[in-house]
């Protein structure tokens, strides 16, 4: 009698180092059980949406590593595809700015593999009536000028979202200077996450891959510590991939608001155990991984519904939600945090940022774009206690 094998939802494979031959073999191993790259036809244009958050070198573990991007480009080029790698980091979506980011993040090496680094800085607007929250938005046009999008994210912690994986990576579709406006439009993690799920529904990445060779723990997504996880993960669904990534860094679905938003729409099951994941993936679970978000499930309590719900969410936020805090001695007074803050919660006093926590929407843009890591995510005493007893 024939036995039917359930297709895999997510693969997790070892990749011990950023070494070209290892990287290519690991990518093949991760992608093959998902149907491989057979859908690519000669001449197809594939955009690889990397995570190029800002001017950080590959060894900081904040950006998708160029060795992996080059290896994927080679696999796509072997099938006759044209490959464009891009992102819109925080900052102007202009060619000079992008070129600086490409140079800092080592992306120029991908050109040697035959990939093109995106040079198109046009911006488009679109209506998206099927969206749950974001029915009209602005995006970087190069993402629409292709046959397929591959979302190539990085495994990192994130002050607001808990985890930066496949779903959050697509926020890079929004032009850098517009991002604070979207944070302001969707100030609570629940609505912000619904917006991120809308972005993924609009762009429909055909494949989502995660660079988890060196992950980032602690003060992510830009100033945390590199942590070796030695893995590459892949899925046809960014949300299913993220559910596995959260389990790898011992977070719950309720700790990651994008997962709650995906669950709400039936895009993921309730638990990772209900997914078909490649055999032996559990050996990559890292119980000592230093996360940021904690017991975010509490914060989803009706925060967008009614006055009582809002008031309760406000109390919980003050008690549990992490907040940005300046490490005074490290701050160089550059004012980047002041410029980027969408809620206008920061004033510069004697060249140091002063945060009004009543106005602060906990988006952590200030932390993400502080060039030297002087803006930290500070956890409350209650959140630390809850972390210990979970």
Q: Which residues bind ligand SF4 (CB under 6 A)?
A: 324, 326, 331-337, 341, 343, 345-346, 353, 355, 360-366, 370, 372, 374-375
Nearer to ligand SF4, 92 or 114 (CB): 92
Other Cβ atoms within 10 Å of 186 Cβ, number: 21
Q: How far is the CB of 374 from ligand SF4 (least distance, A)?
A: 4
Q: How far is the CB of 283 from ligand SF4 (least distance, A)?
A: 36
Nearer to ligand SF4, 70 or 291 (CB): 291
- Cα separation, 133 vs 341, in Å, equals 22
Nearer to ligand SF4, 206 or 334 (CB): 334
Q: How far is the CB of 362 from ligand SF4 (least distance, A)?
A: 5
Q: 60 — alpha (psi -120 to 50), left (phi > 0) or beta?
A: alpha
- Cα separation, 62 vs 345, in Å, equals 26
Nearer to ligand SF4, 128 or 184 (CB): 184
Q: How far is the CB of 314 from ligand SF4 (least distance, A)?
A: 15
Is residue 56 within 8 A of residue 222, CB to CB? The reply is yes
Those residues with Cβ within 8 angstroms of residue 152's Cβ, 6 or more apart along the chain or in another chain: 48, 49, 50, 51, 64, 68, 69, 72, 169, 208, 209, 210, 211
Q: How far is the CB of 296 from ligand SF4 (least distance, A)?
A: 15
Nearer to ligand SF4, 60 or 362 (CB): 362
Q: How far is the CB of 193 from ligand SF4 (least distance, A)?
A: 16
Nearer to ligand SF4, 71 or 174 (CB): 174
Please, what's the largest Cα pairwise distance for the chain? 77
- Cα separation, 377 vs 366, in Å, equals 10
Give the count of alpha carbons within 13 A of 165, CB side only: 31
């Amino acid at each position: 009698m024939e036995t039917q094998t359930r297709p895999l939802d997510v693969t997790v494979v070892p990749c011990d180092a950023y070494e070209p031959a290892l990287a290519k073999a690991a990518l093949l191993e991760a992608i093959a059980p998902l149907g491989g790259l057979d859908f690519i036809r000669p001449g197809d244009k594939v955009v690889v949406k990397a995570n190029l958050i800002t001017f950080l070198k590959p060894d900081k573990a904040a950006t998708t590593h160029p060795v992996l991007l080059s290896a994927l480009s080679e696999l796509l080029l072997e099938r006759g595809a044209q490959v464009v790698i891009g992102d819109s980091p925080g900052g102007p979506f202009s060619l000079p700015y992008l070129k600086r980011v490409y140079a800092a993040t080592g992306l120029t090496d991908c050109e040697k593999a035959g990939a093109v680094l995106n040079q198109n800085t046009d911006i488009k607007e679109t209506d998206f009536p099927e969206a749950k929250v974001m029915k009209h938005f602005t995006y970087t046009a190069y993402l629409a000028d292709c046959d397929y999008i591959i979302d190539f994210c990085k495994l990192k912690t994130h002050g607001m979202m808990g985890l930066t994986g496949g779903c959050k990576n697509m926020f890079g579709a929004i032009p850098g200077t517009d991002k604070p406006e979207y944070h302001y439009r969707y100030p609570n993690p629940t609505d912000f996450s619904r917006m991120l799920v809308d972005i993924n529904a609009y762009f429909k990445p055909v494949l989502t891959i995660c660079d988890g060779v060196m992950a980032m723990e602690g003060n992510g997504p830009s100033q945390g510590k590199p942590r070796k996880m030695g893995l590459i993960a892949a899925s046809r669904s960014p949300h299913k991939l993220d559910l596995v990534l959260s389990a790898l860094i011992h977070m719950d679905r309720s700790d990651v608001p994008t997962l709650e938003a995906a669950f709400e729409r039936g895009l993921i099951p309730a638990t990772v155990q209900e997914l078909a994941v490649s055999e032996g993936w559990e050996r990559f679970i890292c119980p000592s991984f230093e996360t940021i978000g904690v017991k975010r499930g509490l914060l989803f309590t009706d925060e967008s519904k009614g006055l009582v719900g809002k008031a309760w969410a406000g109390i919980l936020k003050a008690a549990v939600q992490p907040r940005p805090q300046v490490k005074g001695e490290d701050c160089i007074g550059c004012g980047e945090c002041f410029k980027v803050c969408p809620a206008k919660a920061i004033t510069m006093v004697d060249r140091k940022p002063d945060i009004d926590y009543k106005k602060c929407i906990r988006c952590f843009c200030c932390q993400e774009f502080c060039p030297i890591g002087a803006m930290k995510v500070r956890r409350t005493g209650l959140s630390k206690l809850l972390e210990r007893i979970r």
